[in-house]
Amino acid sequence: MMKGSGGASGSAAGGPARHVPVLLAEVLAALAPKPGEIYLDGTFGAGGYTRALLEAADCRVIALDRDPTAIAAGQAMVAEFNGRLTLVETEFAAMEEAVDGVFPGQGADPVLDGIVLDIGVSSMQLDEAERGFSFRFDGPLDMRMAGEGESAADIVNTRSEAELADIFYHYGEERLSRVIARAIVHDRKETPFRSTKQLADLIGRIVRSKPGDIHPATRSFQALRIAVNDELHELASALHAAERLLKPGGRLAIVSFHSLEDRIVKVFLATRSGRGGGSRHAPVQGVAKPTFRIEGKWPVSAGEAESAANPRARSAKLRAAIRLEAPSLPLDPQVIDLARLPDQHPRKGGKRR
């Protein structure tokens, strides 16, 4: 997802050219693919992780993507690997249904040896002006990965000032969220927002930047994309689904780019491993029977060479864990809470923000 460590990276809505898998060698090392095993790539995109898995071992991969254009483009890879790759058009939060469709009758039995998730939008989507993800190109203010449902324009033109401020602040960590929201509500009365350039120009007048800084609209565009696609809730759901789908000894590898995403992954795996961690806002409670084991350095970041060659890697963090034999646990309320916008009502004796 092209965001930032705490903020957003320069590729958050601008992005370099074509998609390059981030931390590929490290992901392969974490998954350790073996012949005969079954893996799930929950974020197929251009197929970088999927191809690497299929070339590393005589294994099978189920790859998911809710973007129909990614599924269509991946059909050549399906043919290339002669039945070892199955593509499913769906969001990765629905991985249990997707796996059940490939292996009907398995019921609740874990069937996967490994799962990889690269959270977020791909460079392919950023490069298509008509998708409305990027402020580098003027296009419709859309940002829908699946091409259906509420668009970014719908949110910008209908949500209240308080709701918009929450979205920009919580999902984009934009310090001037309230000022931007107020300006949007003021300007849309005369002219509704329809294009990426229209919104980026407004934000550019408010958020000042120095040479070398990220584009002023980066954080706000990131926030809208997360809101449009409900990305944090999808991630929280997918983590619990992965716990249920992985066999004992199965490996989970998640690459995230935004601090909120990484926090959700960190809290989930820290809780499930009994490691502890979290923050004063979301303290982690250990579990009696851990369902995951964390090994080695955690998290793993890209080295200088990869970061220089691929700006998308600069804010990337890989967190990996191994599934233990303990049965899956109920939903973690801390993880679910992290995926929500904060309460929009004022707290007693204080302001909302």
DSSP 241-273: HHHHHEEEEEEEEEEE-SHHHHHHHHHHHHHHH
pLDDT digits (tens, 9 = 90+) for 250-283: 999 999 988 889 999 999 999 999 986 544 444 4
Sequence ranges of the domains in the chain: 24-117+231-249+273-306+314-338, 148-229
3-state secondary structure of 343: coil
3-state secondary structure of 314: coil
Question: 215 pLDDT exceeds 60?
Answer: yes
CATH of region 24-117+231-249+273-306+314-338 = 3.40.50.150
Least confident of 1-5, 66-70, 110-114, 323-327: 1-5
For 134-159, letters b (16+ CB in 10 Å) and e give bbbbebebbbbbeeeeebbbebbeeb
Confidence of residue 246 (pLDDT cuts 50, 70, 90): very high
Question: 6 pLDDT exceeds 90?
Answer: no
Residue 320 DSSP code: E
Residue with tokens 């910008």: 156
C-alpha triplet 313, 316, 317: angle, nearest 5°: 145
Q: What's the Cα-to-Cα distance from 130 to each of 123, 143, 169, 342, 346, rounded to whole Å?
A: 14, 9, 26, 32, 38
3-state secondary structure of 9: coil
Number of residues in the chain: 353
β-pairing verdict for 60-65 and 300-301:
unpaired
Of 173, 333, 341, 170, the C-alpha closest to 267 is: 333
Cβ 284 vs Cβ 277: under 8 Å: yes
Q: What's the Cα-to-Cα distance from 277 to each of 37, 45, 226, 262, 285, rounded to whole Å?
A: 32, 32, 25, 13, 8
- Tell me which of 2.30.30.790, 3.20.20.80, 1.10.150.170, 3.30.70.20 is the CATH number of domain 148-229: 1.10.150.170
Rounded to whole angstroms, the Cα distance separating 53 from 211 reads: 40
3-state secondary structure of 54: helix
Rounded to whole angstroms, the Cα distance separating 336 from 310 reads: 32
Name the amino acid, one letter, at 25: A
What's this model's pTM, rounded to 2 decimal places? Answer: 0.83
Question: 66 pLDDT exceeds 80?
Answer: yes
Rounded to whole angstroms, the Cα distance separating 198 from 175 reads: 21
Rounded to whole angstroms, the Cα distance separating 339 from 333 reads: 10
- Can you tell me the mean pLDDT for 7-18? 37
Mean pLDDT for the chain overall: 84
